[in-house]
Amino acid sequence: MIRITQIRAAVTAVVILVAVLAAAAVADPSGLLAPIGGRGLPLLGTGGVYRWAPLVIGLPVLLAGTALPTFVVAGYAAARWVFAAAWVAVIGAGSLATAASGFASALPMVGPHLSAGSALTYALSTSGFVAIKFLLVGSLVAAGAALAARFGPRPAPAGAGSFPVAFPLTVMVMVTGLAAIGPAAHWWHGGPVGYAFDGFLAAPGAANGVLGFLAGTALFLAMFAGAAWSAGRRLTQAGPLVVSVTVGLASVVAGLGLGVVDAVLAAIPSSTDQWWVATSLISVATGIGYGAMAGLVGAALVAVGWRLRSRVLPVAATGVLVLALVPLIGAPAPAGPPAAEEVAASGGMEYLRVLPARDGDGLATIGDVTGRQVILRGVNVNQLIDYHLRDPAVPATQPLTDGDFEQMAAMGFNVIRLGMSWSRLEPVRGVFDESYLQQIRAAVAGAKAHGIYTVLDMHEDAWGNAIARPAEECGGGTTPARGWDGAPAWATITDGTAHCEFLARDLAPAVATAFGNFYTDRDGIQSELVRTWAFVAKAFANEPAVAGYDLLNEPGIGANPPISSGLLLGRYYDAAITAIRQAEQAAGGHTHLAFFEPSVLWSGLGFDAAPAPGFTGDRQLVFAPHPYSESISMDQGLGLTIASIERNLATSARAARAYRAALWFGEWGWFGDPAVDGAKVRRLAAAQDRLGAGGAFWVWRQGCGSPETGADATTSGNLVAVDCRTGASAPPPEGFARPLSRAYPRALPGRLDSLTSDPDGGLRITATAAGEPANCQVDIWVPGATMPRLTTTGIAELSSAQVTGGWRISGCARGAYTLAAAP
């Protein structure tokens, strides 16, 4: 019989929850902190499913998921247990609501570049990140529900042993086993956030290893059984509805508990940074998502199979069998780069490709078609980017000349990351600007003349020029959007949202909306950028000096992260790569490297829910994050260092391994006093060397009208500084130039085993070239005017040639070999 107490408790919970959500939406200027909506970010609009799904789909799921458990428990337990049940219900319902709205948002994009299964798995596995917001909200809702439950008849005491724990537990054994080889296989290691964990992790997924899986499963089931037993003792009835609700709540508690345990395990190793902040957030969020998913499935199975509860042994036996098969079945990983046949050296710049790792857990590397490993070390060039101009009389960029490339070569650089703008490539929809393409061709040719590769970077910052609203009326700690670079005005769809920045340029509602519309291909704007990539790829299909294509610089998080910034970002990447490959093939050209990045959050925090491994079947991938830790990352403004320089590079390497991709740091830098920040540049350089990875420093030369330069600045840029009064350029400061121009192997046969380079002089390399390499030539850069003293083993025909800025060392290496260079 339904009691008025149950109705009162459930209605109170719903009313308080709606009130809290509405207040948060009004108070939040960005829409990132509020569970649903945000000031300046309308809840409804014409932007497609992603705009209305949180309100039309997510909110009903959230309210129903809160009301039903509260209603049921209020009829059969004391008020303090109503408080506990309502709190847990809000957290679990928040996770399920996030998953439901995220999956609905992604459904229109399902097709050749995104499967429904991967969309559902991603939505479920990342749903806990939003659900964390409900940890505090849930306590307010629970307090109201508990107070409402106190004013009514109290339920009779529960009978001893009346709650059947054995049957729900056996069902959950089966659920965890099936999930471990299904949707939860990559929820921890190998998933969108798996890179965060180094070493042992107790988690019920097949990708976590046998011990990790067994420990995680045992912990989850033990906590589930304890929570179910504790709740069952307080309930006066044990019918199918009551037991099903208890299963759902106990599973959320177990998932949350598992997340806390993993957070503690991850925080135990001592460190100089606060990485425990990231691992705690990730662990708890992942645990909540897992618990909510398992609880929903378990509750449904208990309700459907209630009549079979007397047959516990067969169900238990099935569950145990499933669990036993998990370590045997395992979790398949994405395919790595193929071991292609090596070709003879051409005598010029070679096409690049990704070389497979030497072992299953190793890191793939960038190499050339002759089989040599290649380290790309250089600088970002922004001199072709179409920046917003705050003053048309002050240029945002400097001319790009042959003198620039000559100076880069004199610092030992062998790559530039050349920023180009979609707004210049396709200024009018459907019309490509051949004159701008010619400027890009000229830059590639200029770099090539000095032995420098080019990575073509589709650059954007805070979406584009058209975001600028200097006259926008903003409040609540926000400021008018300044406008940066990237998309053309015709592709900028902001649906009337606020052009006001909150904390950072990327946290403006208009920027989030523009990216949300891009990720969901509103009016075909994403398809246009994909078509633009095909246009560029066709032009450079037969150019070996183009290393590859950086598909989108620091992608925005969109209006529905991490669905937008992870799942749908991966879908865009696959669509762009597919178009590039088709264009290369149509032009009879060569396959170039595909550089891809996590969202801008990685640059700001050092971690992110990135595209899941396997987002594309292409195997020429290079993971290219921007490690700005201890530089301009958001945590520095809070007095924290969540990820140290070394931590950021180590987690980047783990992510690259999960993707079976090579690793390259596409953008990094410091912008203060080189005499002080030079020490940090040295630390990052040393960490790069330990990984045998390259990267590109930001930035070579910057105009005084750049949005990154203050209106009252006297100089602009951090490497080749420009005097804003005279226009004269200063040479690179010693604090940055010395570590950036340190000795390194530009190319070498086989694989690098170790690399140590002292910016003050000295280089040591150990490497192995198995078999008979097609190209045995080593190519090593050593800076300085004095010929270095060389000590080698396994290298024949050694020679040194003086070039501008230093020396090029060459020779023929076979087998295991070493080289040491001293001043």
Residues 220 and 258: beta-carbon distance below 8 Å: yes
- CA 135 from centre of chain: 24
Between residues 270 and 705, the one the model is more confident about: 705
Distance CA(167)–CA(433), nearest Å, equals 68
CB atoms within 10 A of CB 527: 13
Q: DSSP string of 323-383?
A: HHHHHHH----------PPP----SSPPPEEEEPPSSTTS-BEEEETTSEEE--EEEEE-T
Residue 50 predicted with pLDDT over 60: yes
419 with 524, same domain: the answer is yes
Say if 444 falls within a structural domain: yes
Between residues 337 and 485, the one the model is more confident about: 485
Say if 605 falls within a structural domain: yes
507 with 625, same domain: the answer is yes
Distance CA(791)–CA(818), nearest Å, equals 8
758 with 719, same domain: the answer is no
pLDDT number for residue 164: 82
230 with 301, same domain: the answer is yes
Of 741, 764, 779, the residue that ends a domain is 741
pLDDT number for residue 160: 46
Between residues 49 and 193, the one the model is more confident about: 193
Exposed/middle/buried for 581, CB within 10 Å: 0-12, 13-18, 19+? middle
Domain, as residue range, for 247: 160-332
pTM of the predicted model as reported, rounded to 2 decimal places: 0.96
- Length in residues, the chain: 823
pLDDT number for residue 321: 62
DSSP structural state of residue 121: H
573 with 696, same domain: the answer is yes
Task: Tell me the longest C-alpha to C-alpha distance in the chain.
Answer: 95
Say if 37 falls within a structural domain: no
Say if 438 falls within a structural domain: yes
Q: Report, as an integer, the average pLDDT of 22-27.
A: 84
Q: How confident is the model at residue 631 (pLDDT cuts 50, 70, 90)?
A: very high
Average pLDDT, the chain: 92
pLDDT tens, residue by residue, 387-439: 999 999 999 999 999 999 999 999 999 999 999 999 999 999 999 999 999 99
Backbone angles phi, psi at 213, to 5 degrees: -65, -45
Of 285, 301, 332, the residue that ends a domain is 332
Lowest-confidence region among 164-168, 286-290, 698-702: 164-168
Of 287, 303, 332, the residue that ends a domain is 332
Exposed/middle/buried for 815, CB within 10 Å: 0-12, 13-18, 19+? middle
505 with 611, same domain: the answer is yes
597 with 662, same domain: the answer is yes
Backbone angles phi, psi at 796, to 5 degrees: -105, 165
Residues 641 and 630: beta-carbon distance below 8 Å: yes
Q: How many domains does the chain have?
A: 3
499 with 622, same domain: the answer is yes
Say if 60 falls within a structural domain: no
pLDDT number for residue 666: 98
> What b/e sequence results for 789-804 when a residue is b if at least 16 CB atoms lie within 10 Å of its CB, and e otherwise?
ebebebbeeeeeeeee
Exposed/middle/buried for 428, CB within 10 Å: 0-12, 13-18, 19+? exposed
544 with 639, same domain: the answer is yes
**What CATH number is associated with residue 813?**
2.60.40.1180
Residue 161 predicted with pLDDT over 60: no
Lowest-confidence region among 31-40, 193-202, 268-277, 311-320: 311-320
Distance CA(617)–CA(605), nearest Å, equals 28
169 with 231, same domain: the answer is yes
Angle between helices 275-304 and 209-234 (to 10 degrees): 60
Q: How confident is the model at residue 92 (pLDDT cuts 50, 70, 90)?
A: very high
Residues 800 and 788: beta-carbon distance below 8 Å: yes
pLDDT tens, residue by residue, 313-325: 666 666 666 666 6
Of 783, 704, 708, 780, the residue nearest 749 (C-alpha):
780
Q: Report, as an integer, the average pLDDT of 762-776.
A: 95
> What b/e sequence results for 616-655 when a residue is b if at least 16 CB atoms lie within 10 Å of its CB, and e otherwise?
bebbbbbbbbbbbbbbbbbbeeeeebbbbbbbbbbbbbbb
Please report, rounded to a whole number, the percentage of residues in the chain having pLDDT higher than 70.
Answer: 94
Q: How confident is the model at residue 163 (pLDDT cuts 50, 70, 90)?
A: confident
pLDDT tens, residue by residue, 530-579: 999 999 999 999 999 999 999 999 999 998 889 889 999 999 999 999 99
Strand, coil or helix: 267: helix
Residues 532 and 575: beta-carbon distance below 8 Å: no
Say if 321 falls within a structural domain: yes
pLDDT number for residue 166: 83
Distance CA(821)–CA(452), nearest Å, equals 23
pLDDT tens, residue by residue, 229-267: 998 887 767 788 999 999 999 999 999 999 999 999 998
180 with 197, same domain: the answer is yes
Distance CA(323)–CA(163), nearest Å, equals 25
pLDDT number for residue 198: 87
Say if 39 falls within a structural domain: no
Strand, coil or helix: 462: coil
**What CATH number is associated with residue 599?**
3.20.20.80
319 with 357, same domain: the answer is no
Sign, Cα dihedral of 802, 804, 807, 811: negative
Lowest-confidence region among 45-49, 265-269, 785-789: 45-49
Lowest-confidence region among 34-38, 281-285, 356-360, 410-414: 34-38
Residue 728, CA atoms < 13 Å, CB-side half-sphere:
4
pLDDT number for residue 167: 84
Tokens representing 577 are 């790569």
pLDDT number for residue 78: 86
DSSP structural state of residue 739: H
pLDDT number for residue 155: 60
pLDDT tens, residue by residue, 646-660: 999 999 999 999 999
Residues 469 and 481: beta-carbon distance below 8 Å: yes
Say if 252 falls within a structural domain: yes
